[in-house]
């Protein structure tokens, strides 16, 4: 009798499970059909039918790359690296106090200051650096400065968020010990907290620098300086061999910076 009960119970569970799976597939199929229909409405299929030809045509115009064009790119590449590096520096400097204001264990007030700091972090993180650059170019005019500040503003949120999490994870008894010597709030931060977060801090900064190299290569598209400026002008003049070379240069820069930052981080940790 008991066994029979168990087997029916198991059976009913299994049937419910099967029904959920069936429902899941049913909805997936419905969605696929619906999406296909939406896509069909918006797409002009005449253009898609000859896509292979168009692609082949573009490729044939892109190759071979215009290698000699590299001589005009050195300066722009240097600008791009500077935008990324100075922007990271600016972001890190601004993020440092924000992180201390946002961390539960160091904020002067959880009711007033912490929400403000968290808002700064969220605002900086939710706006893409391209949009920051767009805004700044219209304020400051085109050029490297707008790019640096755009990268800096974008970096604050990322760096501050990771940093305040590592501040909250610091060992509380070391902090208590320094407090118990009669140290002031800033001395406690200097002696008990900063030594504990220093490795995390350096690693976060380098990681962000690595991301910023990638982001700064496209800032020129909106006029914020660097190699992206050449990319957009080459695109506008349909100089495809130049575009190819710029893409290759960006790829090489990103690979080198990634290798470099991985090396430095593995040395630190």
Partner 1 sequence: MLKLEHLKKRYKTGPWVLKDISFEVPEGEIVGLIGPSGAGKSTLIRCINRLIEPSEGNIYLADACLSKLSTSQMRTQRRKIGMIFQEYALVERLSVMENVLSGRLGYLPFWRSFLRKFPSNDIDNAFEYLDRVGLIDHANKRADELSGGQRQRVGIARALAQDPRLLLVDEPTASLDPKTSRQIMRLIQSICRENGLPAIINIHDVPLAQQFVDRIIGLQGGEVVFDGKPDELTEDVLTRIYGDEDWHPEPQDDADELEQVEVA
Contact residues for partner 1 (CB under 8 A)? 171, 173-174, 176-184, 186-187, 190-192, 195-196, 198
Cα dihedral sign for 185, 190, 196, 197?
positive
Q: Shortest Cβ distance from residue 145 to partner 1 (Å)?
A: 32
Complex with partner 1: residue 19 or 185, whichever CB lies closer: 185
Of residues 173 and 236, the one with the C-beta less far from partner 1: 173
178, 190 in Cβ contact below 8 A? no
**Shortest Å, Cβ 227 to partner 1:** 39
Contact 182, 120 (CB under 8 A): no
Residue 48, token pair as written in the block: 């898609």
| Nearest to partner 1 of 145, 178 (CB atom) | 178
Least distance in Å: CB of 94 to partner 1? 20
Quick one: 80 or 170, whose CB is closer to partner 1?
Answer: 170
| CA angle centred on 166, ends 163 and 169, rounded to 5° | 155
Min dist. Cβ of residue 201 to partner 1 (A): 12
Task: Please state, in angstroms and rounded to a whole number, the distance separating the CA atoms of residues 125 and 29.
Answer: 36
Q: Is 225 exposed, middle or buried (0-12, 13-18, 19+ CB in 10 A)?
A: buried
For the beta carbon of residue 101, count every other beta carbon within 10 angstroms.
20
Closer residue to partner 1, CB minimum distance, 177 or 221: 177
Q: What secondary structure, in 3-state letters, does 96-119 show?
A: HHHHHHHCCCCCCCCCCHHHHHHH
CB 107 → partner 1: shortest distance, Å? 16
Distance of closest approach, residue 109 Cβ to partner 1, in angstroms: 14
CA dihedral (262, 264, 266, 267) in degrees, to 10, reads: 170
Residue 150 near residue 133, CB atoms below 8 Å: yes
Residue with tokens 């902090």: 175
Our CB check for partner 1 shows the closer of 66 and 196 to be: 196
């Amino acid at each position: 009798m008991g066994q029979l009960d168990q087997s029916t119970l198991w059976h009913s569970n299994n049937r419910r499970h099967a029904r959920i799976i069936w429902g899941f597939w049913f909805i997936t199929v419905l969605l696929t059909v619906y999406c296909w229909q939406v896509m069909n409405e918006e797409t002009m299929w005449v253009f898609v039918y000859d896509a292979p030809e168009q692609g082949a045509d573009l490729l044939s115009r892109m190759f071979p790359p215009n290698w000699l064009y590299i001589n005009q790119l050195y300066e722009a590449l240097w600008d791009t690296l500077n935008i990324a590096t100075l922007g990271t520096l600016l972001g890190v400097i601004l993020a440092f106090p924000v992180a201390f204001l946002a961390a539960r264990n160091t904020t002067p007030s959880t009711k007033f200051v912490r929400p403000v700091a968290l808002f700064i972090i969220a605002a900086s993180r939710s706006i893409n650096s391209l949009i920051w650059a767009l805004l700044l170019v219209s304020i400051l005019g085109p050029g490297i400065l707008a790019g640096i500040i755009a990268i800096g503003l974008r970096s604050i949120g990322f760096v501050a968020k990771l940093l305040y999490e590592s501040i909250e994870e610091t060992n509380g008894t070391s902090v208590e010990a320094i407090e118990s010597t009669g140290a002031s709030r800033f001395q406690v931060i200097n002696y008990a907290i900063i030594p504990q977060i220093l490795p995390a801090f350096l690693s976060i900064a380098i990681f962000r620098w690595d991301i910023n190299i990638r982001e700064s290569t496209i800032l020129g598209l909106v006029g914020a300086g660097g190699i992206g400026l050449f990319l957009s002008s080459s695109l506008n003049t349909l100089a495809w061999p130049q575009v190819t070379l710029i893409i290759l240069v960006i790829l090489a820069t990103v690979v080198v910076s990634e290798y470099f930052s991985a090396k430095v981080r593995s040395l630190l940790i």
